[in-house]
Amino acid sequence: MLRTETSRFRGASWSWRNAWPKVGERLMRALASPDPRPLRGFGLLMLIAAAVFPCISGSFYMRLGIESLLLGTVALSVDVLLGCAGLLSLGQAAYFGLAAYISALMYLHVTRSFWLVMLAVIGAVAVFSLALGAVAIRARGVYFALITFSAAEILSKIAHNTREIGGSDGLIGIPIPSIALAPGLDIDLHNNTAFYYVVLAALTLIYLGTRRILDTGFGSVLRAVRDNADRVSFLGYNPFWYKLFAYVMAAQIAAFGGMIYPLLRGFVAPHLLGFEVSTKAVVVSLMGGIGTLLGPLVGSIIVTFLESVIGSYTERHLFVLGGIFVVFVLFLPDGLFGLARRLAAKRAEHRS
């Protein structure tokens, strides 16, 4: 209902002067799913599949699974911003990479306590995302995308040119720590199976937490801000604070993946902050289905596995992946989850 009223309001105030940002907003709104309700059954199925995966896979695929879940956090954070707040960020890798560098430097020079590192990462990312978010979300549409993109590039260049943190070569030698889950219960991350389940459990919690937060009144206001920020402010809410909260929350989600990455692969490098990681997160979110939260995670897993498998058979793997993306954009603009939802709706219609 809000939606139809919104467009009438928009039609009245349309002018050439501010047409371009609105085109951007509209595009994003079209991409965002109209119905953010979860496909619960499908989610549960995915979780079961993920839980039994280590039983059938060797160490390489298990570790690839961990990496795909970690990259999935960037996709999830893109979706929180784009799907719920209508903000297209092209710089979410900034938080993934920032957390990766903080985590790497702390394990190398300060402490081996997982929880201390986590506290430092959460603190640093909160400060940085509040500062950058407060500037960036004042801009709309494509300008927001440009600011987030530039900030990530600046961080990447700083990492690239600072010899003390490894310069262009990055840092290696990051130890593989144990996580003290409870007194006397240490999880040794040398064990790939344990590592996998820790990451899977953490990601499930993050997903459910995000879902819970977005299902509250806060989420509803956020979606209203996405649809028409001006109107929301007439209702007595300040859109700024809602967007800022969503921005900080998304940053923390991506930072979680970044914090674990160096423990898996043993190194950090400037490109973790770069454009490639950011844009890939947007692309896999589109493939999975924007606004579904679960879709981007699934998209990330599929693309990470595809990249790894196709690359072994042909040098033209980028061409194949590019082709798959084009097919998605042309024929499945609402992604895999959009397709699943349409099929489910069709079946329900058929039954009634």
Q: Which residues contribute to the site for another protein (CB under 8 A)?
A: 58-61, 63-64, 67, 160-163, 167-170, 172-173, 265-267, 269, 271-272, 276, 307-308, 311-318
CB of 301 to another protein, least distance (A): 14
Q: Are strands 185-188 and 267-268 parallel, antiparallel or unpaired?
A: unpaired
Per DSSP, 267 falls in state: E
The rounded distance, in Å, linking the Cα atoms of 226 and 52 is 38
CB of 296 to another protein, least distance (A): 19
The rounded distance, in Å, linking the Cα atoms of 48 and 149 is 36
> Are 258 and 272 contacting, i.e. CB atoms less than 8 angstroms apart?
yes
CB of 233 to another protein, least distance (A): 42
CB of 176 to another protein, least distance (A): 9
Pick 124 or 172: Cβ nearer another protein: 172
Pick 177 or 295: Cβ nearer another protein: 177
Place of tokens 């989610």: 43
DSSP codes of every residue in 145-201: HHHHHHHHHHHHHHHHH-GGGTGGG-EE-----EEEEETTEEEETTSHHHHHHHHHH
**Main-chain dihedrals φ then ψ at residue 87, nearest 5 degrees:** -110, 120
Q: Measured between alpha carbons, how far is residue 152 from residues 98, 160, 204, 219 in Å? A: 9, 12, 27, 27
CB of 133 to another protein, least distance (A): 27
Pick 160 or 243: Cβ nearer another protein: 160
What is the b/e burial string over 103-128, where b = at least 16 CB atoms within 10 angstroms of the residue's CB? bbbbbbeeeeebeebbebbbebbeeb
| End-to-end CA, the chain | 25
The rounded distance, in Å, linking the Cα atoms of 212 and 156 is 33
Kindly give, in sequence order, each residue whose CB lies less than 8 Å from that of residue 310, ignoring residues fewer than 6 positions away: 317, 320, 321
CB of 315 to another protein, least distance (A): 5
Pick 113 or 308: Cβ nearer another protein: 308
Tally the residues of the chain: 352
Pick 213 or 324: Cβ nearer another protein: 324
CB of 264 to another protein, least distance (A): 9
Pick 98 or 225: Cβ nearer another protein: 98
Pick 273 or 290: Cβ nearer another protein: 273
Pick 133 or 170: Cβ nearer another protein: 170
CB of 155 to another protein, least distance (A): 15
Pick 170 or 288: Cβ nearer another protein: 170
Per DSSP, 81 falls in state: I
CB of 290 to another protein, least distance (A): 25
Residue 255 tokens, joined:
């930072």
**β-bridge partners, 186:** 180
